[in-house]
Amino acid sequence: MKKWIFIGVGGLVLVLILVVGLITYFDAWLTAAYVSIVILAIFEVFSVLLLIALLAALIGAVFAIRDLANNTVVPKVSQTLDQVKDSAAAAKNTTAYVAEGVVSPLIKISSIAAGVRAAAVALARRNKPTGYEPE
């Protein structure tokens, strides 16, 4: 592999020396400058055309991604958002039902039991309560 690289580089150097020698021999430096300007102009035109093609491809890709997002992602996000809203409403309704149907009766029963207990303690007391003196 290295052998072919050295052969290629050597051939390129040899062609470059030959071209420079021929230009110098025929005193054609002005013509060589004009030719190199024309070659650079041709490469610049090709690079501008490639740049335009790449820009068009990039714009097409952006439009394709936008269409994909509008047609695929946004509806699924909307569906998911609707499901989350429904789940939140169901959780709110369940919480309200548990608060009214289960907790409220337990609180009432507990308060009644506390009242009955306090009444039983008050009735079962045989001695006069301490710290209380009627006027």
- Residue 29 dihedral angles phi and psi, to the nearest 5°: -65, -35
Residue 66 lies in a domain: yes
The span from the CA of 31 to the CA of 38, in Å, is 11
Residue numbers of the domain that contains 30: 10-124
* Contact criterion met (CB below 8 Å) for 37 and 31: no
Cα 103 to chain centroid distance, Å, stands at 43
Non-local CB neighbours of 23 within 8 Å, separated by 6+ positions: 29, 32
Instruction: Report, in angstroms and rounded to the nearest whole number, the Rg of the chain calculated over CA atoms.
Output: 47
Structure tokens that stand for 100 in this block: 């009214």
Amino acid at 84: V
pLDDT tens for the chain, 135 residues long, are 899 999 999 999 999 999 999 999 999 999 999 999 999 999 999 999 999 999 999 999 999 999 998 898 888 888 888 898 989 988 988 888 877 777 778 888 888 888 888 888 877 776 665 666 655
Number of domains, the chain: 1
* Contact criterion met (CB below 8 Å) for 11 and 20: no
> pTM (2 decimals)?
0.49
